[in-house]
Amino acid sequence: MSPQDIVKRMYEQDAFSQWLGIRIVRIDTGNCWLEMTVRPEMCNGFHIAHGGITYSFADSVLAFASNSLGHHAVSIETSISHTKAVYTNDQLTGKSELLKDGRTLAIFQITITNQKEETVALFKGTVLKRELWK
Amino acid sequence: MSPQDIVKRMYEQDAFSQWLGIRIVRIDTGNCWLEMTVRPEMCNGFHIAHGGITYSFADSVLAFASNSLGHHAVSIETSISHTKAVYTNDQLTGKSELLKDGRTLAIFQITITNQKEETVALFKGTVLKRELWK
Amino acid sequence: MSPQDIVKRMYEQDAFSQWLGIRIVRIDTGNCWLEMTVRPEMCNGFHIAHGGITYSFADSVLAFASNSLGHHAVSIETSISHTKAVYTNDQLTGKSELLKDGRTLAIFQITITNQKEETVALFKGTVLKRELWK
Amino acid sequence: MSPQDIVKRMYEQDAFSQWLGIRIVRIDTGNCWLEMTVRPEMCNGFHIAHGGITYSFADSVLAFASNSLGHHAVSIETSISHTKAVYTNDQLTGKSELLKDGRTLAIFQITITNQKEETVALFKGTVLKRELWK
């Protein structure tokens, strides 16, 4: 399967990524670029998004980027630093960088930015590669 | 303000924790115990919850537990290992353990379990303490 | 091989753990308890130990604890929070807690304390299990 | 004080960085580039370096890079993934990248490579900024 077909199949089945309103901008092998818009129901009374929103968005980038390598990929460990507050109506962009692609493991850095190109979160994810997609 | 009042005020303002259906079981100083039920819109076509759901739940435990210490607390770095799949209708329990309570920083371990008392995620969070709640 | 024999063989071959002066207090399956004494050459001019000393000590606890499960274990990801300064002549104790023992992965929490039973570091390690020890 | 003077003063006082044989290649504000050579006493019987050696080297890069920003910087949380084995006589290079420089916090990515320009470790460090160097 092509990287694009793998991600298309994953996304169609992924109700929560759809609830987040994730838009797929570009998929290549080991590479993923997504966008989403922050809505009021993702935020608190000060219009600041829950930390789980940015994590969820970054985790979808990780899932799509790692599976696009061709194996079913399972998240082992992820970490996130929230470096700037995210607000209602912010336009978020998530891009992956493949730091390591081994036989059984892959490591990605995911950077989340807002519409002012400010980094709002730094995410690192390690995945275990399982059987091939087919 | 009492720990219970701090968390009550936070929860009332927190639309996403409400969307998750989080129920507050118990709050003490530096301590938080929450529950939630996994719904279909949080899951994929195989009824497995998105990793962001468990993270978001654990992050709410961290936010409530850390603010209940009496200072406004800001998350600096969090990490999570998903140790077992979470399914639609699972009843999740999240409990905090205060590992370190310093002058400027606090560190928590949050454990998420399902209705069979299996650990589904291990979460660690570090927060920076700001001004006092009042 | 018994957990004790695995660790004995590892320790005899491990020049850096010997340089650290690590003493094995107790080994059981998936469990390790070590001690060491901080020396001047591990410290700076203010008699504070380099962060790498505490990490190295915790990493040896992880290596011994994880291999004692019976498989050759390779570290995938480790993190450490230094919660209190460590000084020359401090007596450090490192103890492991097995948080998750899966088919391919194991996760450990390692706690490092000083002679006053203060926690000086919190370490988390994830390992990949390879072939059996024999 | 200049970034170079801050690091010079730190290094002269740092017995363990000296034991590691760390060589300072270049220091700029928020930026550090170090080298070291792996010796037999840092390795096991298979000539593979202890994980603590690479961590210690990366932690020195973090300490020098973060203090060179002008404030005394204290490590809050660090994580490392060992992506390739390190052997006796390997020539290691450690370079920092400043991911975030805030008022109270700074976050760095440190990459450790060997003489073949292979990445052997990925390290992330978060520091708290204290008083100014003077």
- On chain B, the residues whose CB falls within 8 A of the CB of D76 are 76-77, 105, 126
Instruction: Please report the ipTM that was assigned to this predicted complex.
Output: 0.97
Q: What is the mean pLDDT of residues B63-80?
A: 97
Instruction: Give kind and range of the element (H or E) at residue C12.
Output: helix C3-12
Q: CATH number of the domain at C3-132, out of 3.40.50.10540, 3.10.129.10, 3.40.50.11260, 1.20.1260.10?
A: 3.10.129.10
The CA–CA distances, whole Å, from A63 to A103, B79, B122 equal 17, 16, 19
The CA–CA distances, whole Å, from A75 to A66, A79, A125, B121 equal 9, 11, 7, 12
Q: Can you give the residue ranges of every domain in chain D?
A: 3-132
Q: Pick the closest to residue C55 from D97, A28, D50 (CA basis).
A: D50
Average of per-residue pLDDT values in chain D: 97
Question: Looking at residue B103, what DSSP letter applies?
Answer: S
Average of per-residue pLDDT values in chain C: 97
- Report the residue of chain C nearest A75, measured CA to CA: C105
- On chain C, the residues whose CB falls within 8 A of the CB of D44 are 10, 13-16
Return the residue in D100, D110, D120 with the most chain A beta carbons within 10 A, the one to mutate for interface testing.
Answer: D100
pLDDT at A74: 94
CB atoms B78 and A76 under 8 Å = no
CA A5, distance to chain mean position in Å, is: 17
The alpha helices in chain A, defined as continuous H runs, are 3-12, 15-20, 51-67
Q: Pick the closest to residue B121 from B65, B63, B62, B51 (CA basis).
A: B51
- On chain B, the residues whose CB falls within 8 A of the CB of A43 are 15-16
Could you tell me the pLDDT band of residue B76, with boundaries at 50, 70 and 90? very high
CB atoms A124 and D100 under 8 Å = no
Could you tell me the pLDDT band of residue A127, with boundaries at 50, 70 and 90? very high
- Residues belonging to chain D with any Cβ–Cβ distance to chain A shorter than 8 Å: 79, 81, 83, 99-100, 102, 107, 109, 119, 122, 124, 126
Query: Does the pLDDT of residue C80 top 90, yes or no?
Result: yes
Could you tell me the pLDDT band of residue B45, with boundaries at 50, 70 and 90? confident
CB atoms D13 and C63 under 8 Å = no
Return the residue in D76, D95, D99 with the most chain A beta carbons within 10 A, the one to mutate for interface testing.
Answer: D99
Is the sign of the CA dihedral D64, D66, D67, D68 positive or negative? positive
The residue count of chain A comes to 134
Could you tell me the pLDDT band of residue D45, with boundaries at 50, 70 and 90? confident
pLDDT at A45: 87
Question: Model-level pTM?
Answer: 0.96
Q: What is the mean pLDDT of residues C48-56?
A: 98
D64-113 per-position pLDDT tens digit: 999 999 999 999 999 999 999 999 999 999 999 999 999 999 999 999 99
Cβ pairs B/C, distance under 8 A: 31
Question: Looking at residue A88, what DSSP letter applies?
Answer: T
As to burial, measured by CB atoms within 10 angstroms (0-12 exposed, 13-18 middle, 19+ buried), residue A24 is middle
Of A81, A99, A102, the CB nearest to D126: A81
Query: Does the pLDDT of residue D36 top 90, yes or no?
Result: yes
Contact partners for chain D, using 3 or more CB pairs closer than 8 A, are A, B, C
Q: What is the mean pLDDT of residues B105-132?
A: 97
Q: Pick the closest to residue D78 from D90, D102, D61 (CA basis).
A: D61
Distance between CA atoms of residues D127 and D108, nearest Å: 8
Could you tell me the pLDDT band of residue C57, with boundaries at 50, 70 and 90? very high
- Residues belonging to chain A with any Cβ–Cβ distance to chain B shorter than 8 Å: 10, 12-17, 19-20, 40-46, 49-53, 55-57, 59-60, 63, 75-82
Q: Pick the closest to residue B55 from B4, B123, B101 (CA basis).
A: B123
CB atoms B81 and C102 under 8 Å = no
